[in-house]
Amino acid sequence: MYILDKLAEIERKYEELTVQLGDPEVLADAARYQKAAKAHADLAEVVEKYRRWKDLEKSIRGTKELLEESSSDSEMKALAHEELAHLEKQREQVEQELKILMLPKDPNDEKNVVLEIRAGTGGDEATLFAEEVFRMYSRYAESQKWRVEVLSSSLSGVGGLKEVIAVVEGQQVYSKLKYESGVHRVQRVPETEQQGRIHTSAITVAVLPEADEVEIAIDPKDIRIDTFCSSGPGGQSVNTTYSAVRITHLPTGIVVSCQDEKSQIKNRAKAMRVLRSRLYEMKLKEQQKQITEERRAMVGSGDRSEKIRTYNFPQNRVTDHRIGLSLHQLDRVMNGKLDDIIEALITHHQTEQLKQVRAVA
């Protein structure tokens, strides 16, 4: 069975890492120890569950043997049957949990997020709701021991938020907030409404995994390095040695020159730093372009008809339209109690993943 072979392999890797963590050489190397400790922690839950499964398998085999031995003892046989049914139910539960743990991981799950909330249709009422939703997420973040840092915000004339952009930092932030992107619709009677009519407004929420610092690796084959004599103002010779450096990045055509130092080695090092900075800037612009496209895909136009969730205040009801979940606990949800909704979305996603895995198998 493929999954059992894979689990056995994971257990062997876990045991190897356990030994490494006690190795004096690894303990003396902070970077190596940190890497091994993280890998060990990442495998711990799967290994613990796999060992629980093996214990249950062993107990089931023992109970079946007891059944065969007690064929003439009706009371013992009944007890064994009851125990077997209990153990098999436990094994089935553990197998389901193992299947979920073995699903492909989203590489962004452990990342912090950039949370963007913008008022959509509905005027002032939309800005007031945007402020309330931001407070909702802030309170949820507090319950998860996450840190929220506002990067920018724009207030409306009535004290709401036209827009707020914040970074949310902590453990597994993206894994829990990634399903929040989309249009959130609110139905309620605005404070300014004199005739008690229910209004419908909308805001957009975008949850983006925080971009890692861009690593710039320059292939030596991609650069041409020329050296020349340094010169001062008016062409006066400063240095008769070829200490000045000009680096051309062939794929992009970027040219960087440096002649401040009398040492060619120092000039080259400075020029490479400048080149890396310029390539980094180019990479960031590409990244930002991609993020902008992702954001558009996430939030659509902000129109009420594109809703993923509706917050109905008169009925104290919140409905997530993607999974058909309705809770008559809107007051709790707006106070940051989002666990029921988020867990339901995660379970739905995992169920869909399991269906796909079965279809491929």
Cβ(193)–Cβ(313) under 8 Å? no
Q: Domain 113-213+299-360, what fold?
A: Alpha-Beta Plaits (3.30.70)
Max avg pLDDT among 45-49, 304-308, 341-345: 341-345
Q: What is the mean pLDDT of the chain?
A: 84
The mean pLDDT of 226-233, rounded to a whole number, is 68
The structure's pTM equals 0.62
How far from 220 is each of 247, 267, 271, 279, CA to CA, in Å?
Answer: 11, 17, 14, 14
The string of pLDDT tens digits covering residues 130-170 is: 999 999 999 999 999 999 988 878 889 888 999 888 889 99
Confidence of residue 304 (pLDDT cuts 50, 70, 90): low
- The pLDDT value recorded for residue 19 is 92
From the candidate CATH numbers 1.10.10, 1.20.58, 1.10.287, 1.10.3470, the one assigned to the domain spanning 2-101: 1.20.58
Instruction: Give me the residue spans of the domains in the chain.
Output: 2-101, 113-213+299-360, 220-289
Distance CA 98, CA 101 (A): 5
Pairing of strands 307-312, 182-188: parallel
Distance CA 90, CA 99 (A): 14
Q: Record the tokens describing residue 73, joined without a space.
A: 């003892």
- pLDDT > 80? residue 129: yes
Q: Is the CATH code 3.20.20.60 the one for domain 220-289?
A: no
Cβ(313)–Cβ(185) under 8 Å? no
- pLDDT > 70? residue 235: no
